[in-house]
């Protein structure tokens, strides 16, 4: 999932144009060595992105009752983004 701000997109667009111009200027047989990550406009470090949230009631665990449930993952706009399948199994008192 790529979620770029407008400023980041514009910056990356200029980097893409620069890489393209270098490839065009290099000609057909130019060396196409991979770009280092700091100059690659298409590479982004992994960063956490909040896609949505789901609510699962844990009351059954208080009574040691296993629970298997499907809950919807709701995005920031309030729309259903996914279905989460969860299975809760109480631990034994000795575990």
- pLDDT of res. 78: 92
Rg (CA), the chain: 24
Sequence-ordered alpha helix ranges (H) in the chain: 6-26, 59-62
d(CA 82, CA 74): 7
d(CA 48, CA 45): 10
Residue whose tokens read 């470090």: 45
Residues of the chain with pLDDT under 50: none
Q: What percent of the chain stands above pLDDT 90?
A: 46
């Amino acid at each position: 999932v790529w979620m770029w701000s407008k400023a980041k997109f514009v910056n990356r667009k200029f980097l893409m144009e620069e890489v393209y111009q270098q490839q065009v200027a290099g000609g057909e047989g130019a060396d196409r060595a991979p770009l280092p990550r700091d100059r690659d406009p298409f590479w982004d470090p992994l960063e956490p992105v909040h896609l949505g949230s789901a609510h699962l009631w844990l009351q059954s665990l208080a009574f040691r009752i296993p629970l298997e449930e499907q809950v919807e993952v709701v995005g920031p706009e309030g729309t259903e983004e996914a279905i989460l399948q969860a299975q809760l199994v109480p631990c034994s008192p000795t575990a």
